[in-house]
Structure 1
Amino acid sequence: MTANLIIGQSGGGTAVINSSLVGAVREAQRHSEIGRVFGMLNGVEGLLGDQVIDLTAQNDMVLDRLLTTPSSALGSCRFKVGGSDLDQLLTSLRRRDIRYVLYIGGNDSAESAHQLALAATRAGHELQVVAAPKTIDNDLPETDHCPGYGSAARFLAIVTMEMDLDAWAMRSVEPVRFLEVKGRNSGWLAAACALGRATEAMAPHLVCIPERPFVEEDFLVALDNCYRRHGYAVVIMPETQRDAHGKLLGSHGSAWRDQYGHEYSLGTEGYLIDLVSRHLGVRARYDRPGFLHKTSLLHVSDVDRREAYLVGQEAVCAALRGESDVMVILRRTSNEPYSCDVATIELPRIAGGERYLPDNYVSLDGTSIDPDFINYLRPLVGGNLPTFAHLR
């Protein structure tokens, strides 16, 4: 008996999230058990508003272009489902004879998928709900890494190398540079900025990570040492860095909060520039790649794109095997040569959870990254980084 399948994308986009979408669509087309393939416009929030498109008839040219199209082609949301939302979602799925739901996203999306699976079980609705991992933050538990991370890490590593050149050239004007990175409560992206650091003199000179509180006195000592030793300093700063009291830097006790309770400060830049000016007497500059390290194709990893496609395929296969309330994960089977396969794991072990950067990956003073982390990351970024000339 055939039934239909629907796919949604949720949370922040990545450079390769549409590869998971294409992988799922093309795998679904191979199986006679699946009739039509639908897409939620803007995730579960769109499905609640009956905003659905038919992906079945998309031609190969469109799907091929989607493989190299960044961000979420179906649109996205950050919507916390609950209560009557779940009944409404099940009604919408029944109306379209949808038995298979694939949801591509990160921690919060996994929670939405988990709640939908539980609601279907309670209602006696035959429904296979499978989540496909996606997050540049690389903070999903149980999986070796997350699709989206390899490309974001490659982007940040190269941007840091380029910032190093500019910061050195402009050291008499702006000797301290801050590079803000995403990552929420984990330091995987911050640490990735050090991948291209070939010598101790190169950036990043300091790496702050959310797992460790920011202590003004310690930071200023470390920064002053780097500045005096190199004549300039490049500092990696997470957008969610907190102080010893758990407050976001520059938030002055208040911050913007999303539906899931995640906080973001709007005052980090001013706080840090003023701190450096007052205590070190030099000018600092604060730069944000912003959305670019989420979705830019400038430095996309071919490994990342290939694995994103793979998890989309496996999500369909898992649903057809009768699995539900699970997420696809990546398991590294070898580092040299690099190889990785897929498996599934129960969503309660992932939903709402976070995986933090191991403490030993960054030195206590933030001045060095452990080789074990570099060995972990290098296969994921898809080839060698560029090399630049130095006339020093």
Structure 2
Amino acid sequence: MKKNLLVAQSGGPTAVINASLCGVIREGMRHPEEIGMVYGAVNGIQGILEGTIIRVDDQFETAADFELLCHTPSSALGSCRYKMPSPDKGPEQYAKILAMFRKYNIGYFAYIGGNDSMDTANKIADYCYEHGEEVRVVGVPKTIDNDLPITDHCPGFGSAAKYIATTLMEVAADAEVYPMKSVVIAEIMGRNAGWLTAAASLTRELGGSYAPQLIYLPEAVFDPEQFVEDVRRELDKRDTVVIAVSEGVRLADGSYAAESMQSGQVDAFGHKYLAGVGKYLERLTADRIGCKVRSLELSVMQRAAAHLQSATDLEEAVRAGEKAVEAMLRGDTRIMIAYRRISDAPYRIAYETAPLGEVANVEHKIPRKWINEAGNDVREELVRYLAPLIQGEVSIPMKNGVPMHFSFDKTRLAD
């Protein structure tokens, strides 16, 4: 009897996470001899536990439907931030998952997500293996933070980087029109890894802008006193200074620079909710320098800006989903799809696999050697790494002047 394929999404949304979903579903449907039906779990692993399973392969009538899904931002199946305990601490949850796999005759499971999602996939894969259940589990990487190890980069990052570079260029253009001393501080996502903030450098390297003049990343120690001096020095050269700063920049003692601005609350995985470094630096600049200063927080806007999808990112995201199905059909399990960069110019990558156990709960950060000695800018090596990932434009399906989005019928299957 043919086994069925189940796919789910988890973690924060991106502009191309649904492109990977499209790749999984469409590739699954291309192999009717080996794969029966293609199911989706609504809201990730939480949906599997709650039995919210839907058919997805019967919701695509034309190739245009798949194309629309590829250009739809966020997680079309819904997401979750649900931390799976170890099997010895939550055996009933694993028993529920196994029961759902058996109920729907699941032989293939693709989980699209980031660090914590790969941990979940790894635990489920191990549990299935240890209990003799023939379910092939493959992780499909996804994170705008670009902090998964082994893979050269992650689907979702290139489009977020393109959005950040474009937005910072526009912010700088707005700020530079007045003949007065002013500072603009852009707070960008990045708890422990500064890949997103580093992408702000592409505005000057590729777009011809002079901004941002200063870039601060979590990988380099942040010194508020040095920050003030950096700003003063740049204001001596020009009227307007634009600054890009990661939300997670830390002081020498390891504490977050804006610790006093944060709530102290944590998510299901124990991660502190970060926000406030932009406002903190705005106040510091106003108090110590006294010029006009404003801060802005890109927040969730950088996560799902499908109108600025990178064509490179979109294509690779689809291929990652397809490669996951190909891997499962080869008999692979307990692995994640990974990219290996072959060259920068011309840009070429190869699709490989990485053991889930070596990916889960491991963060890939920017090498310190790619950041300047002062810790307030990036080096050319980092720009060369980033530049290919934002290349190419896409045509977004529009209706009445706004983008069109794909939507699943999420009516759960009858028991």
Q: Report the TM-score, using the length of structure 2 for normalisation.
A: 0.88
Q: 1:75 aligns with which of 75, 78, 82?
A: 78
User: Which piece of structure 1 moves more, 214-223 or 102-111?
Assistant: 214-223
Gaps of 5+ in 1: 385-392
Q: How does 1:279-358 map to 2 (within 5 A)?
A: 279-358=288-367
Q: 1:181 aligns with which of 166, 174, 188?
A: 188
Partner of 1:387: none
Task: Give the whole-Å Cα distance in 2 for the aligned partners of 1:268 and 1:218.
Answer: 15
Q: 2:254 aligns with which of 230, 233, 246?
A: 246
Given that 2:186 and 2:278 are in contact with CA atoms closer than 8 Å, whether structure 1 keeps it comes out as no
User: Which piece of structure 1 moves more, 329-338 or 91-100?
Assistant: 329-338
Instruction: Confirm whether residue 362 of structure 1 aligns to residue 371 of structure 2.
Output: yes
User: Which piece of structure 1 moves more, 223-232 or 265-274?
Assistant: 265-274
Give SS of 1:353's match: coil
Task: Give the whole-Å Cα distance in 1 for the aligned partners of 2:95 and 2:280.
Answer: 46
Q: 1:144 aligns with which of 146, 152, 157?
A: 152
Partner deviation per Cα, 1:305-359 (whole Å, 9 max, x = no partner): 0000000001011111111110000111222221112111101111000011011
User: Which piece of structure 1 moves more, 267-276 or 329-338?
Assistant: 267-276
Partner deviation per Cα, 1:217-250 (whole Å, 9 max, x = no partner): 1111111111121122111111222222222233
- The code of the aligned residue for 1:195 comes to L
Instruction: Confirm whether residue 121 of structure 1 aligns to residue 124 of structure 2.
Output: no
Given that 1:206 and 1:366 are in contact with CA atoms closer than 8 Å, whether structure 2 keeps it comes out as no
C-alpha change, 1:206 and 1:171, in structure 2 (3 Å) is farther
Task: Give the whole-Å Cα distance in 1 for the aligned partners of 2:208 and 2:378.
Answer: 11
RMSD: 1.8
Given that 1:240 and 1:264 are in contact with CA atoms closer than 8 Å, whether structure 2 keeps it comes out as no
C-alpha change, 1:342 and 1:254, in structure 2 (3 Å) is same
Instruction: Confirm whether residue 52 of structure 1 aligns to residue 60 of structure 2.
Output: no
Instruction: Confirm whether residue 197 of structure 1 aligns to residue 198 of structure 2.
Output: no
Paired residues in the alignment total: 383
Instruction: Confirm whether residue 85 of structure 1 aligns to residue 93 of structure 2.
Output: yes
Moved over 3 A (4+): 198-201
Partner deviation per Cα, 1:97-125 (whole Å, 9 max, x = no partner): 10110000111100000010111122221
Given that 1:148 and 1:304 are in contact with CA atoms closer than 8 Å, whether structure 2 keeps it comes out as yes
Given that 1:87 and 1:119 are in contact with CA atoms closer than 8 Å, whether structure 2 keeps it comes out as no
Given that 1:240 and 1:263 are in contact with CA atoms closer than 8 Å, whether structure 2 keeps it comes out as no
Given that 1:153 and 1:189 are in contact with CA atoms closer than 8 Å, whether structure 2 keeps it comes out as yes
Gaps of 5+ in 2: 394-415
Given that 1:249 and 1:267 are in contact with CA atoms closer than 8 Å, whether structure 2 keeps it comes out as no
Q: 2:118 aligns with which of 97, 107, 110?
A: 110
Give SS of 2:112's match: strand
Instruction: Confirm whether residue 153 of structure 1 aligns to residue 161 of structure 2.
Output: yes
Give SS of 1:35's match: strand
- The code of the aligned residue for 1:371 comes to E
- The code of the aligned residue for 1:190 comes to T
Task: Give the whole-Å Cα distance in 2 for the aligned partners of 1:375 and 1:254.
Answer: 37
Q: 1:169 aligns with which of 164, 167, 177?
A: 177
- The code of the aligned residue for 1:56 comes to D
Give SS of 1:295's match: coil
C-alpha change, 1:154 and 1:91, in structure 2 (3 Å) is same
**Deviation at 1:137?**
0.7
Instruction: Confirm whether residue 95 of structure 1 aligns to residue 98 of structure 2.
Output: no
Partner deviation per Cα, 1:10-49 (whole Å, 9 max, x = no partner): 1111111111111111111111110010001010011111
Task: Give the whole-Å Cα distance in 2 for the aligned partners of 1:147 and 1:229.
Answer: 38
Q: Report the TM-score, using the length of structure 1 for normalisation.
A: 0.93
Given that 2:186 and 2:295 are in contact with CA atoms closer than 8 Å, whether structure 1 keeps it comes out as yes
Task: Give the whole-Å Cα distance in 1 for the aligned partners of 2:287 and 2:308.
Answer: 37
